[in-house]
Amino acid sequence: MTRLSVNINKIATIRNARGGNLPNVLEAALNCERYGAHGITVHPRPDERHIRYQDVRDIRSKITTELNIEGYPTEKFISLVLEVLPHQVTLVPDPPDAITSNAGWDTKKHKNYLKEIIAIFQAKNIRTSIFVDTEAVNINYAAKTGTNRVELYTESYATLYPKNKINAVKSFVQAAALAKENGLEINAGHDLNLENLKYFCENTLYINEVSIGHALISDALYFGLENTIQMYLRELR
């Protein structure tokens, strides 16, 4: 079964809109794992406009499921990762002012840089993943960095899915097979939801984990967090 990691950034966004600690981000993370999520994903940004660095510390000390920290490897980000020692770090090439992740790495161009950063994390036994698109060159060069996994950036799949789901998933099927050939494990994320998740995982083989935040937290406003997590888990079975 593909594992579900719940990205809780949007919960922190709501909290930060009013200040204080409502909703409680740590409590939300604990509830996610209590309701069946296999992991928690956080994406702290330099301005801490949603997840704060202290949130990451608090969550790491309390949860029992996997913690995945996403982000661009600034010096501050690297220091945080080495401090809290998550189970997985996902390297994302987004600038500090990006609203959300909107591209994968050019792994050929940044191979040496990524290789250096990955070695730092792996020396601490942290599993590494690189955010990539489905271009073969980026899959092949990701393998050359020494990373454990790639995370396939699925926005294009989600956008095309309502119009032509066969064409939408085609490049991801090929990319996953190529990643597997290169000895990489595979994650996926971005705009996956209750409508398109099952088809993606049924057709794109070898997916170890999906990271879902915006859609899942939005669904929880209608269905409740516990019920929503169970709905997503059913799509993955």
* Secondary structure letter of residue 152 according to DSSP: E
User: 45 falls in which pLDDT band (50, 70, 90)?
Assistant: very high
Residue pair 90/131 in contact (Cβ under 8 Å)? The answer is: yes
pLDDT, tens digit (0-9, with 9 covering 90-100), for 124-170: 999 999 999 999 999 999 999 999 999 999 999 999 999 999 999 99
Task: Provide φ and ψ at 148, rounded to 5°.
Answer: -80, -35
Q: Which amino acid is at 218?
A: S
**Predicted pLDDT of residue 168:** 98
Give the mean pLDDT of the chain: 96
**Predicted pLDDT of residue 102:** 67
Domain residue spans of the chain: 3-236
Task: Provide φ and ψ at 20, rounded to 5°.
Answer: 70, -150
pTM of the model: 0.95
Dist CA 86 CA 81 (whole Å) = 7
pLDDT at 15 over 60: yes
Mind telling me the catalytic residues? 43, 70, 190
**Predicted pLDDT of residue 101:** 61
**Predicted pLDDT of residue 94:** 81
Using CB atoms within 10 Å of the CB of residue 46, give its burial: 0 to 12 exposed, 13 to 18 middle, 19+ buried. middle
Closest CA to 60 of 36, 82, 37, 92: 82
**Predicted pLDDT of residue 79:** 98
pLDDT, tens digit (0-9, with 9 covering 90-100), for 93-119: 986 666 566 689 999 999 999 999 999
**Predicted pLDDT of residue 100:** 60
* CATH 3.20.20.70 is the classification of domain 3-236: yes
User: 189 falls in which pLDDT band (50, 70, 90)?
Assistant: very high
Residue pair 155/172 in contact (Cβ under 8 Å)? The answer is: no
- pLDDT above 90: percentage of residues in the chain: 94
